[in-house]
Structure 1
């Protein structure tokens, strides 16, 4: 009986282990470079005169990874649009206070935003 127990324990440990390729977000390792809709959003921002005020934040909302393009423009009105992994807007009254684990994952080289 003890041999059967150890065999089951060994099989359970062996089968539950898998190679870890590192953390992923939205099933990709690098959302900025691997999600086409993010690259498209950045390209659109690069064609504006306000690029230096822009940045991209990744966060968690209700257990899911979300993103939003932010702005530190001092003379612009800004609407917060929360996007899911497919780049689709999440509707509802969501504020930045509802988002946890926020981190800036992209900003332009000439950024004037103080994000620290």
Structure 2
């Protein structure tokens, strides 16, 4: 009986030691883009202090295989243009619409937001 106790105990301990901790998902090399990407944090602060902040929101999506962040508005009476940035904070100058973005998700909107999403 003792012959089997130590090998079983060893196998039991070994089986748990092989479990690796999973790193949290990273976006653009960080776990929280709004906090860790200074350029995005600055855009969010500016958007939050805008006089029509209740209509502003920031999203994250995939555009042409790359993670992007976009500034948008749900203002029903406004004419606005989609502004999109890459992970480095470079503005993407190509013409595109929200329909061109995949895997869209809202990552910030004001506390008094008027925007309603189907997410």
Structure 1 length as normaliser, TM-score?
Answer: 0.79
Secondary structure in structure 1 of the residue aligned to 2:61: strand
Instruction: Quote the residue 2:45 is aligned against.
Output: 43
Pairing of 1:1-116 with structure 2 (within 5 A)? 20-116=22-118
CA root-mean-square deviation: 1.6
Counterpart secondary structure, 1:82: strand
Measured after TM superposition, the shift of residue 45 of structure 1 is 1.6
Flag structure 2 segments of 5+ consecutive residues without an equivalent: 1-19
* Aligned residue pairs, count: 100
Quote how far apart the aligned CAs of 1:20 are.
Answer: 2.9
Q: Deviations over 1:22-69 (max 9, x none)?
A: 211000001111111111011112222101101111000111100101
Structure 1 residues without counterparts, runs of 5 or longer: 1-17
